[in-house]
Structure 1
Amino acid sequence: MRHRIARNDAEHGAADEEPEGDSGSGGEVPRDEQPDDDDESIEEEIVTPRQKYHCYLQSAMEKVSDVEDWKLQDAWQWTLHWTWLRRLKTVELLPHRLWSLQNLWRWMTIDGIYLDKDPCCPARPGVRGQWLTPSRSAAAGKLLDAIAQLEGPQVGVRLLCHSATFSRLVHSMRCAPPTAQQAAWTTFDSKVHECLVQLTGLPLGQTSLQQAARGLSWAGLGLRSTARHAAGAYLGGCLIGGLDPLFSSHLVADLDGALQLYNGASGRVLTKDAALALTQKQLSHQFDSASWDSQFSIASVAGRAILLSETEPGARAFLNALRRRLGVPDAARDTWCPRCNGILDAHSHHAGMCLAGGGRTRRHHAARGLVAAWATCAGLAPELEKAELLLPQWPDDARLALRRPADGAPTALVLAITGRLRLELLAETGRHALAAAGVYGHLKKSHLNTGQLCTAQGVPFRPMVAESTGAWDSEASQILQLIARGVSAREGWHPAATQATLLEELSVAIRTCHGQCSVAGLFWLLQPWMPPKQSWPLPQISENSMTSLSEPDLC
């Protein structure tokens, strides 16, 4: 049987009357008046989604046979309103008086969420009308167990961040009140933490886990906590209900409880109207901001400098340096560096700043070679600095005069990697991101008047300075963006994806060299503490080395 309803939304509140057609007749069209197959306009009207919903609801309401007529009329009105919200991808639970309809809640579902007569009651086996959040959490737990058994931690962490955490339950979070599902959210978060520990082998504390639960732009891993973000997701789901003219916030189940949970977790005080005016993304952003402010306020000066550097776009290729990003120490205490007689800290920051060992040189050459390779793919014809580039070895050496001039104006790019924990800049790096890179970029221009001399020769001097996390200063970021656009134009790639790949490769190269230095110093960190020996050779300062030692320490 085909049913047709009026277009006026005000007529949706009709009771158990047969929906009228366009001509005012009954819901069933006589056989002799049925439209032909070639009548596209009428046929299109019959198969509209609204008529499908009407037929579905009409057949469903026939099952409600043990209630009085006035209750059936009330249920009919609310069910039509409920179905309209379903089309808008949101959920509004029925008011308390509707839970008495025993036959209604047993079969009715909203986007896969079964409704029980009491949303706070525990799930009962054998009853279809129960919340599916615990079962969905258990199903997602099987996926987490499988990811934890992967041999490659890089692949495992990527799968965990992108497809096995917050996204698995976001639909249930938007549909179900958080007060009734808090135990399921907490259990799921504990499974995510166990999976992360098994993949990385890191002894993560509470501070590290809270940092990992923030987004990438807040120095986190994107492993959002479902228990903390459930209230914001539920409030964001209620926002879309405002598109319906019949929506009323006081009919949403447990809205006050969700608002109270959100205000307690985020440390903010939002009214009901203010919370319903924000999207889920905005609510999650406020929660991440509050978590960031809490950790930043109790961190040390060095910890603040590290957090600010980790938030920059170039420093987010972090999968090879989770220990460094989350602030997990390599040892229980500091010791003495056997190479330079300095302090080798427990977090291995000194390993990348040590003057001896050659780690800084290897890191510089790795980043410089990678930038040159990308510039070659972009068609910029770069040339690495050579010993005979500035002055010829012999007077009759004319190789420089025979080279073809570069297409366009040449530019001298000077790449450097500096540390954000230098003592003279520690106070500044603890307040502003990329402070160390910006200061060293200005120093590169003013040192020996290099910038002015290059400009006088018609060659622009552009320093490209990065911090040891892979975060680049603004001037270097512009150059890398131009290189990425050149590569995307030649290869046909997406510009934004190409730039992200370039930053990721540079960050991996920089952090890999830093990790090699950390592994080299790990042997001394794990040894019993001993004072520095007087027989260890101290750095010798000569006239030839005064210039290099007077420059700021690189890391």
Structure 2
Amino acid sequence: MAPSPGVLLSVVGLLLMGRGWTDNEAAWAPRAPAPTSPTWAWGVHRQSLPAPIGRRTRRRLTTALNTMWAGRVLGSPAWKRPLRRTWGYRGVRVGEARHPGPSAPGSPLHPAIQRCRAHSPDSGGDRHPLRRRVAEPGVAVRCFCPVPGCGHGDAMRAAGWASHEGMRHHLDDHCSGTLTGAVPAEYLQAHRLDLCSVCGLLVGRRYNGPRPPSFSTIMGHTAPTLRHVPHVARAAWAQCLARAVAAAATTNTGPAWQELLMLPKAVLAAPLRGGGGHHKQAALSTLRRCQRWLAGERMELWDELVQPRPARARADGVELAAQHTRCCALAAEGELSRACAALTEPPPLPPSRATLEALAAQHPQAAPPDVAQLGPARPAAVPEVTKENVVRAVRSFSRASAPGPSGLRADHLQETLSTAHGDEVASHLVALCQLLARGEPALVAPHLAGARLHALPKKQGGVRPIAVGETLRRLVSKALCQAVREDAVNHFCPLQVGVGARMGAAFDLLGAPIGDSEYCTQATLSDKVQKAGKVLDALGELDNPQVSLQLLRHCASFTKLVHNMRTTPAGLHSAALAAFDGKARACLESIGCFPVPDRIWQQATLGVKHGGLGLRQCAVHATAAYLASVATTQEACRGLDGRYNPDWPTSSATAATYNAVVLEADRFRGDQAHRQQALSAALDKAQLAQLLVTAEDASGRAHLQLLQQPAAGAWLLARPSPALGLDLVEKMGLLPERPEELGASEVGRPSVSQRRPADVYLPNWGAYGPAAMDLAATSGMRGSVLATSAGDGASAAANYEIRKKIHHNTAQLCAGQGLQFIPLVVEACGGGWGPTAVATFRKLGALHASRLGMSASDGAEQLFQALSVALQRENARAVLRRLAESSDSVPSLAEP
């Protein structure tokens, strides 16, 4: 609907009917006499009104009128005249009307403003020449693009921007190449802008602004960093690290190195509060800090760092709890040896003046060596560092490796390689390692060569200095060793002494008692058993049975006496070995809070693959250890001594003891080289056969058979990590009631014709197209299959796989639809998987390992451990649901 004529129609009528402006712009003058026909009150002929026009014609007429009247100034009515709400003399210099003078320094003025100042009006007709402003009141000054040829630079046609800051995104399009043309250098100089060397966009220059902290301040700040980057922030952290490393490797300037060294503490600062309730908040906080770093808030993040409080002396109970917490944390990281040492060894000494003086006394100051004797540097002699060497060096760092002065951990580098920016980070690390290997960053070299000094107390008193170097310097050292490894082996091959050579370190055979039975027994008891007893007692006091069992298996039982068992005949210290086994058995009772009868202890000392806990008895496996050592070193002994006789009486007696225990097919023969692992497996096999024969009934034999199935004991080897959900939870929730127990009807369940063939559908699985995976659980302890399971533990899962395939012709129907039917069957009592499930999960583990940079076997092992822990967790819940509760509403697992 077209609008009413209004003021525009009246103006058109005046133009068409002969009225117009005279030379005097403030008065009206008629051009022709008015006709005598009837008129409206405002003097326009009724018959002379123009015919109605359309929107397009009206738009053209409006454009023509605007062009014609562009130079005229119409006086606004009194009721529409804008009120002056600004200072009249603000920004106006005295005498500017006639003598504007030189332009003020700073940003150049818009061309329209320059024209207003260049041609000052005559003050003869103006009563207030000094009040004349740069622009008319109420007219906003617009900013237009300074790029020549850009359409947004035309002040007559383009809309423009209200400020130069609002125009930044448009100028960034010119800089990035989205729009043609380059921003003039005059504009950049006037507005103190520059082009970023990384992204090419506009950045602001800062003169005498906030500067980054010095290298000494960065390295001296003791703010702790996170052990691991949270999963939600790893991609953002990889971007931050890639940009910082690229800037340092490309520019090799002081500010670039300062940003790289301050990045870990500014972004990965450890939260002030811990605990599971703050885990998600800490992860989101790390993500936000990474995003702020990418946005340019470097100094703001650094200023927010909080200096940690000095450590205070703790009470005995608090110190013991701190040791237990540290032990569990290291065990969750997979550092079992360090976790075991954390229980018995004292913590590092807190920083103090006395500690510093003691450390300085250990290393007296001396004059620095004269490096001029080495001659001038030869950058061309530096070997070329490849991407494969750098990635291998990054992955070779041990887990939970300590950080250097900058706070950067090896885990931080490893976790970036598994992100989408892993290749970018690796490429920039190669350039950085090559730069450091040539010794070019002389400014930062003293700080990278430094280390963080820690003080460990000695048992006999005093302190032991431990220096932890910078992670980047250690990375370069590893990469260079990888590059010259083959050359070093060829150079030092006959001597086998030197860096990079296998067996390249001389060692002494120490700690092996040589003497009669009494002396060997006493030496083993005093040197090994008593020292190991302290660790066993500490494991019994640890309030985490999962961690205690892991440390007992890997660090505190059989491994403590392996050296003695391989160097001393078993008959010479059998009493000491039996005493140590008794201590390990008592430790297991303390961990489990239950008595361990002889039969249970015999099964617990079997390997995990044979249905045990992996706690080998030293008295039983000492013969295997000594025989394997003798058989392996025979060739080397003959080379050193031509009259060497391997048929010693002690060796023959040890072989006879071993052959009397194992099965006939596994007996030891001196003419063959045997490994200790194979000989110990034969002992486990004989011990397992004895347990099967002496079992009370078929259920006991079936249970032992089921525990030997693939991945049945994977939950015992799982790392006690809360982050992975593999830790032991004491107070677990019970399962909800089953629908049939609550009286639920069958209404709503799909019929046979509508049933789904499987639980998991994969659109692409291997070379045979999509796959339908059906998870199922069976039990080998059911009465119908108990006798079969007692003879063959794998029969329960294998037979149930066949049943799943033929049930309702599921496999045939899936094949007709082009699907692979894959039954994944688990035996719930022992925890073993069927053959199809084992092959499928090994393939899934290999695919998962390829993404994380692990080996296929490690990926499959982690997957089996997670599945086994989930199964045993549900078994524990099922047991708790079926237990009769006592009067105090506490489940009773055993009679007191």
TM-score clears 0.5:
yes
- For the structure 1 residues 434 and 199, does the alpha-carbon distance in structure 2 shift closer, same or farther, using more than 3 Å as the test? same
- For the structure 1 residues 264 and 133, does the alpha-carbon distance in structure 2 shift closer, same or farther, using more than 3 Å as the test? farther
CA displacement, residues 398-449 of structure 1 (integer Å, 9 cap, x when unaligned): xxxxxx9945622111110001112222221111122111111111121222
User: Aligned-pair distance for 1:131?
Assistant: 3.6
Q: Is the 8 A contact 1:134 1:184 kept in 2?
A: no
Residue 511, structure 1, aligned to residue 872, structure 2: yes
Out of 218, 225, 236, which is 2:628 matched to? 236
- For the structure 1 residues 250 and 454, does the alpha-carbon distance in structure 2 shift closer, same or farther, using more than 3 Å as the test? closer
Q: Is the 8 A contact 2:776 2:824 kept in 1?
A: yes
For residues 87-98 of structure 1, the aligned pairs below 5 Å read: none
Out of 252, 270, 286, which is 2:682 matched to? 286
Residue 180, structure 1, aligned to residue 572, structure 2: yes
Residue 222, structure 1, aligned to residue 614, structure 2: yes
User: Aligned-pair distance for 1:458?
Assistant: 1.9
For 2:533, what is the secondary structure of its paired residue? helix
Counterpart-to-counterpart distance in 2, 1:303 and 1:319: 20
User: Aligned-pair distance for 1:514?
Assistant: 1.3
CA displacement, residues 154-212 of structure 1 (integer Å, 9 cap, x when unaligned): 00100011111111111101111222201110110000001111011132211111111
Letter in 2 for 1:499: A
In the alignment, which residue of structure 2 is the partner of 1:189? 581
In the alignment, which residue of structure 2 is the partner of 1:492? 853
- For the structure 1 residues 164 and 360, does the alpha-carbon distance in structure 2 shift closer, same or farther, using more than 3 Å as the test? farther
Counterpart-to-counterpart distance in 2, 1:389 and 1:169: 62
For 2:581, what is the secondary structure of its paired residue? helix
In the alignment, which residue of structure 1 is the partner of 2:559? 167
- For the structure 1 residues 455 and 287, does the alpha-carbon distance in structure 2 shift closer, same or farther, using more than 3 Å as the test? same
Out of 640, 653, 658, which is 1:257 matched to? 653
Out of 210, 224, 227, which is 2:602 matched to? 210
Counterpart-to-counterpart distance in 2, 1:295 and 1:250: 35
Letter in 2 for 1:309: L
For residues 32-431 of structure 1, the aligned pairs below 5 Å read: 110-115=509-514, 118-122=515-519, 131-132=523-524, 134-243=526-635, 244-245=637-638, 246=642, 248-249=644-645, 252=648, 254-266=650-662, 273-274=669-670, 277-299=673-695, 300-319=697-716, 357-358=737-738, 406-407=763-764, 409-431=769-791
Counterpart-to-counterpart distance in 1, 2:887 and 2:688: 32
Letter in 1 for 2:568: A
Aligned-residue Cα RMSD (Å) equals 3.9
- For the structure 1 residues 505 and 48, does the alpha-carbon distance in structure 2 shift closer, same or farther, using more than 3 Å as the test? closer
Q: Is the 8 A contact 1:173 1:233 kept in 2?
A: yes
User: Aligned-pair distance for 1:140?
Assistant: 1.0
- For the structure 1 residues 290 and 272, does the alpha-carbon distance in structure 2 shift closer, same or farther, using more than 3 Å as the test? closer
Q: Is the 8 A contact 1:437 1:466 kept in 2?
A: yes
Q: Is the 8 A contact 2:706 2:793 kept in 1?
A: yes
- For the structure 1 residues 494 and 525, does the alpha-carbon distance in structure 2 shift closer, same or farther, using more than 3 Å as the test? farther
In the alignment, which residue of structure 2 is the partner of 1:378? none
Counterpart-to-counterpart distance in 2, 1:147 and 1:161: 11
Q: Is the 8 A contact 1:480 1:499 kept in 2?
A: yes
Where do 5+ consecutive residues of structure 1 fail to align? 1-43, 51-86, 90-108, 125-129, 322-351, 362-385, 393-403, 528-555
- For the structure 1 residues 433 and 526, does the alpha-carbon distance in structure 2 shift closer, same or farther, using more than 3 Å as the test? farther
Bigger fraction of residues in helix: 1
CA displacement, residues 295-314 of structure 1 (integer Å, 9 cap, x when unaligned): 11222222222112111232
User: Aligned-pair distance for 1:478?
Assistant: 1.5
Q: Is the 8 A contact 1:214 1:220 kept in 2?
A: yes
User: Aligned-pair distance for 1:134?
Assistant: 3.6
Counterpart-to-counterpart distance in 2, 1:172 and 1:278: 19
User: Aligned-pair distance for 1:360?
Assistant: 12
Counterpart-to-counterpart distance in 2, 1:359 and 1:319: 33
Out of 780, 789, 805, which is 1:445 matched to? 805
Q: Is the 8 A contact 1:175 1:234 kept in 2?
A: yes
Counterpart-to-counterpart distance in 1, 2:666 and 2:645: 15
Out of 450, 454, 464, which is 2:824 matched to? 464
Letter in 1 for 2:738: G
- For the structure 1 residues 405 and 112, does the alpha-carbon distance in structure 2 shift closer, same or farther, using more than 3 Å as the test? closer
Counterpart-to-counterpart distance in 1, 2:739 and 2:787: 26
Where do 5+ consecutive residues of structure 2 fail to align? 1-490, 498-504, 719-733, 742-748, 756-760, 889-896
User: Aligned-pair distance for 1:249?
Assistant: 3.9
Q: Is the 8 A contact 2:524 2:576 kept in 1?
A: no
Out of 467, 477, 490, which is 2:838 matched to? 477
User: Aligned-pair distance for 1:260?
Assistant: 3.3
User: Aligned-pair distance for 1:278?
Assistant: 3.0
User: Aligned-pair distance for 1:473?
Assistant: 0.5
Q: Is the 8 A contact 1:235 1:275 kept in 2?
A: no
Q: Is the 8 A contact 1:119 1:180 kept in 2?
A: yes
Counterpart-to-counterpart distance in 1, 2:842 and 2:672: 39
- For the structure 1 residues 467 and 136, does the alpha-carbon distance in structure 2 shift closer, same or farther, using more than 3 Å as the test? same
- For the structure 1 residues 317 and 123, does the alpha-carbon distance in structure 2 shift closer, same or farther, using more than 3 Å as the test? closer
Greater shift after overlay, 244-253 or 510-519?
Answer: 244-253
Counterpart-to-counterpart distance in 2, 1:291 and 1:216: 13
Counterpart-to-counterpart distance in 2, 1:181 and 1:171: 13
User: Aligned-pair distance for 1:270?
Assistant: 8.5
Greater shift after overlay, 518-527 or 311-320?
Answer: 518-527
Counterpart-to-counterpart distance in 2, 1:410 and 1:177: 59
Please tell me whether Structure 1 or Structure 2 has the larger radius of gyration of its CA atoms.
2
CA displacement, residues 195-251 of structure 1 (integer Å, 9 cap, x when unaligned): 111011132211111111111111111111111111221122211332032364466
Q: Is the 8 A contact 1:214 1:221 kept in 2?
A: yes
- Identify which of structures 1 and 2 has the higher relative contact order when contacts are C-alpha pairs closer than 8 Å and 6+ apart: 1
- For the structure 1 residues 405 and 429, does the alpha-carbon distance in structure 2 shift closer, same or farther, using more than 3 Å as the test? closer
Counterpart-to-counterpart distance in 1, 2:621 and 2:520: 23
Q: % of aligned pairs identical?
A: 28
- For the structure 1 residues 417 and 131, does the alpha-carbon distance in structure 2 shift closer, same or farther, using more than 3 Å as the test? same
In the alignment, which residue of structure 1 is the partner of 2:194? none
- For the structure 1 residues 298 and 247, does the alpha-carbon distance in structure 2 shift closer, same or farther, using more than 3 Å as the test? farther
Counterpart-to-counterpart distance in 1, 2:801 and 2:681: 33
CA displacement, residues 455-474 of structure 1 (integer Å, 9 cap, x when unaligned): 22222222111110321111
Residue 520, structure 1, aligned to residue 891, structure 2: no
Counterpart-to-counterpart distance in 2, 1:208 and 1:405: 44
User: Aligned-pair distance for 1:263?
Assistant: 3.1
